[in-house]
Structure 1
Amino acid sequence: MKKQFLFLILLLFALKSTAKSTVSDQQKQAVESLLAQAKEFAKAGKLLPYIETAIKALNLANEANYDEGKAKSGSYIAEGLVTAGLFKEGLKQLDRIETTDYYKNEIFMQSQALLIRGRAYGELNLNQQALRVLRLQQGLIKKLTGEQQVKSYQFNYEHLSVVFQRMGQLDSMQKYTELQLANLKVFQEKDAAMRYQIVYENLGKLYVDRGDFAKAQQYLDKSLELMKKYKIPVVLNTYGTLGLLEKKRGNLKKAAAFYEESLARKRAAGSRIGMKNSYRALADFYRTTGLDKAKTDHYEMAFSRLNDSLENENRAVVDQVLSMILKLKDQESDTKVSKSVTVSVIILAVLIIAIAFFVWRVRHNRRLLGQKEEELQETETINRELTEQIGENKFNNLIDLAKSNNPEFLTLFAELYPQFIQALKALDPNIRTTELEFCAMAFLNFSTKNIAEYTFVTVRAVQVRKNRLRKKLEIPSDADFNTWMRGLAEKV
């Protein structure tokens, strides 16, 4: 029966190996190469190529059954979908990631997934859900170390400050913006210049909204200083915020100059979304202040044209992304169908093994039960004989002393069974007291488990001691240890 059971286990492993091929180094490298390309597209702000390349990586990872590749490429796709405004599809992708072993074992991956989920909830104005998820992420970040931990905290604080800004809770927004600043202090200024500049910019806007113009000026000046010192190429908000600050101070001409400078820098950087926002801000500024009706109309028209163009482009991007996602789903369905036969065979094999194991287990348990009943009867017979020899009270007292590991156990045992102790000493005049106690317990037919329990050692330690005594006392390997000890007493 055991041979049949082992054969079925080997069969199962063979079936698994046909269903789940080993990932080669070449396949891993191909997936990682695509992921590296996707990162470069993300840095360049090319959303569509970023998502498309991540989908290619996921397809390849699925073909190779490369678990880590599935998780990583899935997170890239989820992030891209959320950026494109496809929140539902992005959240579904996160659900798929969570089924991978890599996700379950990697804290950083879990942290990143929560960050993307929190961002999606925030964009959907599900602010309480966003806060809950981002705070869950903080618990995971504590377990990270080094640069991973610092960067994870940075983005976590950044998203929390955005959520609180949407909710109008400026105190909490200020708290998490200042935490970003404190978190950056582990870096040299030159190594994190852009992150510092963004935080200074956000603090400047915060203090403008709060009416603390002195502090707002202080942080905006720091932002400008970093821009000039490190030649930071893309600046989207600092000059616009300076325009808002001067408007609130009543310096309208100065404010107009800052708004115009903000637009010029966004044009130079090629930021069309930034330009659209500047057109809106300039049109509102000239209309509310009454400074220049012609400029009001000019910027209103520029805003409408660019806004319509961007909306058309966004729709095209969304349509393309949805098309790619639909193709991905079709490929996943095809893969599932191709694996269905193999899965059915595996299920059948597992069922056969389960039945075989159950039958073997029942028979095995019956044999064990019979053996235990025989051992119990033998122990009862021995105890009855020993009790008859020395009296019930003394024997019970001896057993209690053994169970409590009492030092007096050996003294009483030597009094009751002096011939056995003499026989052991005759075999080995240098036998130790601890060895005599051990042999005495074996003479009383205590099992290995009982001796381990009463002497506060492991079962393994008892087995090792038995082996040593076998060699020392020349006990045959095929002889039962306890039976041999009682036989020694009978010889005497």
Structure 2
Amino acid sequence: MQSNFKIFLYLIIPFIYASSYTQINSQNDTHTKEVSLDIRIQDNQKLMLTDLEQAKLNMEGLLKEALIVGDKKAELLLLANKCRYHFQKEDAFGLVKASDALSKKAVEYHDNRMQSLSKMYLAESLKFNTLFEDALIELQNALLLLEKEDSLNLSIINTKSNIYISFANTYSQLNKPRTAVKMMKLGGKEFNRVPEGDYRNYLNYLYHSNLGIYYMEYNKDSTEYHARQSIKLKPKDIDKDDAIMLRNYLSLGKVYAQKKEFDTAIEYLNKSELLAIEIGENVNLKETYTTLIDIAKQNNDTDAFKEYNSRLQSLKLEQFETKNKSLHQIIEKRKLKQSEIDSQNQRTFFLWIFIIIGVSIVIAVISMVIYKNKIHSKYEQLSKEYLEDNEILEEDKAAIYNEVIALVKKDDPAFMVSFNDAFPTFTDNLLKINPKLAKGEVEFCALLKLNLTTKQIAQYKVIQPRTVQNKKYQIRKKLNIPNDVDIYNWIHGV
């Protein structure tokens, strides 16, 4: 069974101060509000491992407080936590916005580490849209920002190690598992620079969980070993399973599925599913459903296959809109950046013209021509990037079409639910034209919207082609479609 870890790794940024793992300081009434805010931010970061939505709710109040007291460090930590929330929810659109907000504040406050984190999270949003090469560039830039920072600082160590984890995730999605393992081990080297103690043990708890993931593609025994090592290293003060344990359960479920020990595999995968739902994390949920579907196929368990396939399709449709919106936002950011570059070039150009205009009119004219050619070339490149990005978007749309059509082929009652999720305005627009359309007629129009031929509709609905032609004729009359207009073109415009 081939493993697929696209957008599977849960990337954790342990911002929690190392001191919280090595010692417990006594507290008294003389503590300042700033220290109290720090402690509550630490608690909020821990909560993100077990209850994302509650952590998000608390985060908003903490951010307002940080702004009121002017605590820049706390503000940046909370903005980074927002990025982490949207990543775990696999909310590509929210992640683009959150990483942009973090980047702007980090630049304003001259904080290289937070600028680096913003680039790492931007890379994650690019990966959600399969822009892997762009993601690798952002990750490389993130590392460059940390070159001049103190390499023994725990925050810098954490950030570097997680950039390497993000590199590993990228190479895993590019089907380069051995390179992914190498990058993960570079992250492990950063962890080993932390002094021995509870915090070091916590990082190794995280490290073994992540490393096991990347071995899955070519060495399931190593995956099982590292998952079990991670479980052994789970801190005793974590009284309930967290997102790291979620990954361990999923890794073991996939290992036992490959071993054909399906009962044990399902036991671990059920733990993974329930924990993902409890935490509110979507990153691992798709991989859990995919593995359960594969097991159901091998066991010829039709009911389980339908159930988990339905859950997977619902999850994909839920995430399609945010990917679509995030892709458009990425394109708009590129346009804005290009516009800023062009504006700066234009200002430089006119200054240059002002200086040399008295020397040589001929040089000025030649320079103007060169400049215009450069501008034209840049706009051509921008158009090319826009078209390439839209091709990616169309691939995503094609995937949704295929999912809906697959339900039609199986005569699944959930067909119209999935169709309306993919085309939310179609039914309403149709009923505005003729409110008296019957439910069956609306469903028939949906089949035409999917560009199914007369022969395909007859095959999937088990009726005669002549019956399909008659239905088309009736739809024409009810919707007043002119005889000289193709019915598919007309339906496509609804």
Query: TM-score, normalised on structure 2?
Result: 0.46
Higher relative contact order (CA 8 A, sep 6+): 2
Query: TM-score, normalised on structure 1?
Result: 0.46
Q: Which has the higher helix share?
A: 1
